[in-house]
Amino acid sequence: MKTLILAGGKGTRLWPLSRELMPKQFIKIFNSSSLFQKTLERALVFSKPEEIFVVANREYKFRIIDDMKDLNIEIPKENVYLEPRARSTLPAIFWVLKTNSGKFAILPSDHFVEVNESYRNAFRAAEKLSENFLVTFGIKPTRPHTGYGYIKPGKGLGNGFIVDEFKEKPDLRKAEEFFKSGYLWNSGMFFFDSKIFIEEVKKLVPEIFDAFETHESIEEVYDKIPEMSVDYGILEKSNKVAVVPMDARWSDLGSFDSLYEISAKDEFGNAAIGEKPVSINSKNNLVVGQKLIATIGVEKLIIVDTEDALLVSRMGESEKVREIYKTLSARNDRRVVVHRTAFRPWGSYTVLEEGERYKIKRITIRPGKRLSLQRHYHRSEHWVVVKGTARVYYDGRETILRPGESTFIPAGVLHRLENPGKVDLEVIETQIGEYLEEDDIERIEDDYGRE
Amino acid sequence: MKTLILAGGKGTRLWPLSRELMPKQFIKIFNSSSLFQKTLERALVFSKPEEIFVVANREYKFRIIDDMKDLNIEIPKENVYLEPRARSTLPAIFWVLKTNSGKFAILPSDHFVEVNESYRNAFRAAEKLSENFLVTFGIKPTRPHTGYGYIKPGKGLGNGFIVDEFKEKPDLRKAEEFFKSGYLWNSGMFFFDSKIFIEEVKKLVPEIFDAFETHESIEEVYDKIPEMSVDYGILEKSNKVAVVPMDARWSDLGSFDSLYEISAKDEFGNAAIGEKPVSINSKNNLVVGQKLIATIGVEKLIIVDTEDALLVSRMGESEKVREIYKTLSARNDRRVVVHRTAFRPWGSYTVLEEGERYKIKRITIRPGKRLSLQRHYHRSEHWVVVKGTARVYYDGRETILRPGESTFIPAGVLHRLENPGKVDLEVIETQIGEYLEEDDIERIEDDYGRE
C-alpha cells in the first residue's frame, strides 16, 4: 500500500505560531514533533519508506528534508514532488498518481488523528473498496460541529457506504440534524487507486488531465491549470465515491479553538503548551508560549505567545486570526511571513537582537552543510563558535574553529561558513554596518542554486 | 521651599513590568520617563535642585543617579538618603527632616499627578498652613473609588480644613456615601515644617525619636526601629493635621486597573503602551508590550507583555498580581526579582540568549564608568564593541576598541572593561564555559566597593 502525504497547506490560521514560511504542518507543537512528522509516522503504519510520497510547495523542500532527517526516515528523493506554485489538492494528487500507479492512502499533513483499531480497520476496508471506488474517510461525529463538512452515507457496501451527498460547513441547526441522522465528518483523508482516479479526472476535469499530457515542464503545466480541490473537482461530481466510517479522535486543527479541543486539560479546563502558567481564578483557557505566563480571573481565552507576536482571542472566535493575518499582510508586515527564526537550506538563523548599526544572530548549520561563498558590501561579521566545529573560508585561506574560538570577516571580503562535523554547528554572529538587510549579499557559489 | 521625594517603594503590583530590583517608580512607562523622573520635574516647580532631597533603599542608589543624569538634574550627593532597609515612610521622613530644618513638600515618587493651577495653589496654601499644622493633600474624588483611603474635612482654615478623620479603603456603599459627603482622597503627598513634625514624632512615636538620638550608625538605628507609615504613626493620631483640597487628575497607580484609568484611550476604550495592537472586535482593554499584540473579541482585559513574563488579567482583578508575586517568590523564581535586563552601578546588561555552555549578553556601560578588575574561572568571554569606545585591560596590557572591533578573554585571565568616552558603550559578550552563573567572578578592584 502506498501513501501520499499532502504537505502544501499554508495554514495561516494558527498565526502567530505558524507563518507563511513555516506553516502549521511543520511547527513543533506536540512534544517537539511536527504534524508532518506525525503524519510520516502514520504513513509507516501501512507503507514502507520507499512507498511513501510527499507533495508540497517548493518553498517547503528543506522543511520536509529536515523533518525526515530528525526521525531518521529516508524516503527516495524522487518520491518528493515539489510544486512550483500552490494549486490546491487536485493537481497535487494527480501529478503523483499519474506518474506512480497503485493504491494510495492520501493523508493531509496538518491534521490530528488518533491511530486506533478503527483507524487501522478503516484503511484495510478502504483498500478493498478502492478497487471499484474513490474512497473517503468519514469521522464519527462527537458533537454537532459547525466547523467541518459532512458526508451523508447512502447504500451499504460491506465496510463502507456509497456517498449520497457532501455537505458544506453547516449552521448549528443543520449540524444538529446531521449529527442525529448519522452523517460523518469529511476528514480530508482518501484512498484512491491511481487507475480509477486518473479516469475520473479525464472525464470530469479534462483541462487538468490535458495539461499534464502536453509533456511541458511542470512550471508550464502549473502555470496553465486552475487551482482546484479534489473535493470540488472530483468527489462532489463522481458517482464512484464511497465513504468508510472511522471512530477515532480527529481534528483538522483549523484554529486554536480546535487545538484546545484536542489538548489535555487540568481540573479547571486549562490547557497549556510550554511552561505551565501561573493561574488565579482562571478556567477553560488555552495558553501557548515559551515563557512565564500568568492569568488572573480570565475564562475561555486563547493566549498564544511567540518571540515577536502575541495573540489573545476569545475562545470561539479564533478563526478571525485570518483577519489579523490579512491586515498585517496588507501592511507588508514580515511577522506574517517568518518567525524570528528563518529557515535556510543549510539550517536556520534566529535574530537575537537588532540595534542601531548592529544585528545579532544565532546561526545553526546542519552537519555537512555550508552557506554560499559570499560577500557583503555594507557589513562586517564576527563569528563566535558556541557549539560544534566550523570550517571558515576567508579571503582564500581556510581555518577550523572550535567552541570558544572566533573570527572576523570585514566588509567586502569573500567568505564561506561550513559545518564539516557530525553534529549541529552553532555560531553567534554580530553584524556591524550601516545597512544590515538580507539583500546585501553577493553569492559567488552556492550548493542550493541561489547564485 | 524644600522637597523630599520618597523613592523607597517596592511596587510589586505592576509585575511583570516592575520587579523587586526595578520597582514601579523607575520603570519608564510614560513616554520613556520614569515616575521618579516625573516627580523630580514636579519637585522643580517649587524647589531648586539643592533644595531637593531623596530618600530610598540603598538598592536603588544607581537607579536614582541614572534617572537624574538622564534629565541633567544634579542634586547634592548629601541630599540622597540611602536606607539600609525598608521601614516605611515615617522613619524615612524623620531621618531627612531631623537633619535638615525647614518646610518640606513631601512627594511619593510612584504616583501620577497632573500639575495644574489647583496643584500649584494647593502647595502655596499648604506652605502657609504648615506654620501651625502637618498638612496633607486631599484629591477631589471623581467617583466613589474603593481603592483609595478618604479624608473627612472638618473646620475650615481658609484654604484648607482641619482633618476630622482618616478613612481606610471603603466598600462601595461607604465609598458612595463619602463621595456624596465631600470627603477627599488621601493622596500621600504632605507638607511638613520639620520643627512641628519632629515635635509630633517625639510625642507620638518616642521609640523612633529616641532611636535617632542614640548617635549610633544608621544601620543600627534601622535595625532597632519598627516599620511604620507616617499615616499610621502620626497623622491618624496628631491633632495638628490639616488637609488642603486639590482638584487635579491623580492616581496612586496601585494596579494595572489604575494605569488603565489614567491612560489615553481610543474610540473603543482601548489603551496601549508600546506598539499599537491589531484589534478585532475588542473593547476597553489595556495592552502593554514591546512587540506585536493582536486581540480578537476580548473585552476588559489587561495584557502586559515583557521579555520573560506575560500577564493576562480581567480588568478589576489586577490587584491579585500580588498573589502571582507571592507564588513566584515562594518558588524563588528570579522573574519577580529582575528583568532580563539587570542594572549595575556602571550601567546594565541584558541576557539575549542562554544555551548549553554559552550565554549572550548586551552590556551597556555609562560614560566614564568601568566594571571591576576581575577574572572568571569557568568561562571565557568574547567582546564585540557595537557602539562607543571601549578601553580593555587584559593581562596587564591595555587596548582601545571601536565599533566592529573585538577581543577574547580566556578563563582565568585578569581583565577590565571601561568606557572612557562621552556616550554609552555597548558590547556584545559571548560567554563560553561549563558554568556561566554571575557568581563565577573574582573581583580584585572595584569602583563601587564590591571587592
CB atoms within 10 A of CB A412: 13
To the nearest whole angstrom, how far is the Cα of A108 from the nearest Cα of chain B?
28
Task: State mean pLDDT over B247-266.
Answer: 94
- What pLDDT sits at residue A108? 97
- What pLDDT sits at residue B329? 92
CB atoms within 10 A of CB A267: 6
Give the whole-angstrom CA distance, residue A163 versus residue B429: 65
- What pLDDT sits at residue B29? 83
Q: Which regions of A110-240 does DSSP assign to beta strands (E)?
A: 112-113, 134-139, 150-156, 161-167, 184-193
CB atoms within 10 A of CB A97: 23
Give the whole-angstrom CA distance, residue B392 versus residue B411: 16
Q: At the topology level of CATH, where does B341-445 sit?
A: Jelly Rolls (2.60.120)
Q: Is residue A433 helix, strand or coil?
A: strand
The pLDDT tens digits of the residues spanning B130-148 come to: 999 999 999 999 999 998 9
Complex ipTM value = 0.87
- What pLDDT sits at residue B21? 85
- What pLDDT sits at residue A337? 87
> Would you say A269 and A279 are in contact if contact means Cβ atoms under 8 Å apart?
no
- What pLDDT sits at residue B297? 97
Task: State mean pLDDT over B204-209.
Answer: 97
Size of interface A-B (CB pairs under 8 A): 184
- What pLDDT sits at residue A438? 87
Give the whole-angstrom CA distance, residue B231 versus residue B238: 10
- What pLDDT sits at residue B349? 93
- What pLDDT sits at residue A9? 83
Asked whether the predicted pLDDT for residue B356 surpasses 90, the reply is no
**Among all residues of chain B, which has the CA nearest to that of A381?**
B404
- For residue B199, how far is the Cα from the chain centroid? 30
- For residue A266, how far is the Cα from the chain centroid? 28
Asked whether the predicted pLDDT for residue B13 surpasses 90, the reply is no
Q: Which chain B residues are Cβ-neighbours of A408 within 8 angstroms?
A: 406
The pLDDT tens digits of the residues spanning A29-40 come to: 877 899 999 999
The pLDDT tens digits of the residues spanning B265-317 come to: 999 999 999 999 999 999 999 999 989 999 999 999 999 999 999 999 999 99
Q: Is residue B165 helix, strand or coil?
A: strand
Give the whole-angstrom CA distance, residue B413 versus residue B353: 24
Name the nearest CA neighbour of A53 among A86, A69, A76, A37.
A76
Domain chopping of chain B, boundaries? 2-251, 256-329, 341-445
Alpha-carbon torsion (B436, B437, B440, B444), positive or negative: positive
**Among all residues of chain A, which has the CA nearest to that of B278?**
A324
Q: Is residue A190 helix, strand or coil?
A: strand
What pairs with residue A261 in β-bridges?
A: none
Give the whole-angstrom CA distance, residue B185 versus residue B140: 7
Give the whole-angstrom CA distance, residue A24 versus residue A67: 13
- Touching check for A124 and chain B: CB below 8 Å? no
CB atoms within 10 A of CB B223: 13
To the nearest whole angstrom, how far is the Cα of B352 from the nearest Cα of chain A?
6
B 350-379 near A (Cβ less than 8 A): 352-353, 355-358, 360, 362
- What pLDDT sits at residue B225? 95
DSSP per-residue codes, A321-334: HHHHHHHHHHTT-G
Between chains, do B317 and A305 touch, taking CB under 8 Å as contact?
no
- Residue for cell digits 555550508? A370
Burial class (CB in 10 A: 0-12, 13-18, 19+), A398: exposed
Between chains, do B404 and A432 touch, taking CB under 8 Å as contact?
yes
- Lowest average pLDDT, out of B179-193, B338-352, B388-402, goes to B338-352
List, in order, residues 6 or more apart from B330 with CB less than 8 Å away. Answer: none
- What pLDDT sits at residue B318? 94
Which residue, among B19, B341, B430, B436, would best test binding to A if mutated, counting the most A CBs under 10 Å from its CB?
Answer: B430
Report residues of chain A scoring pLDDT below 50: none
Asked whether the predicted pLDDT for residue B32 surpasses 90, the reply is no
Between chains, do A352 and B355 touch, taking CB under 8 Å as contact?
no
- Residue for cell digits 497632573? B114
Q: Which chain A residues are Cβ-neighbours of B311 within 8 angstroms?
A: 293-296
- Lowest average pLDDT, out of A341-355, B69-83, B319-333, B377-391, goes to A341-355
- What pLDDT sits at residue A341? 86
Q: At the topology level of CATH, where does B2-251 sit?
A: Spore Coat Polysaccharide Biosynthesis Protein SpsA; Chain A (3.90.550)
**Among all residues of chain B, which has the CA nearest to that of A16?**
B294
pLDDT above 90: percentage of residues in chain B: 87
The pLDDT tens digits of the residues spanning A117-144 come to: 999 999 999 999 999 999 999 999 999 9
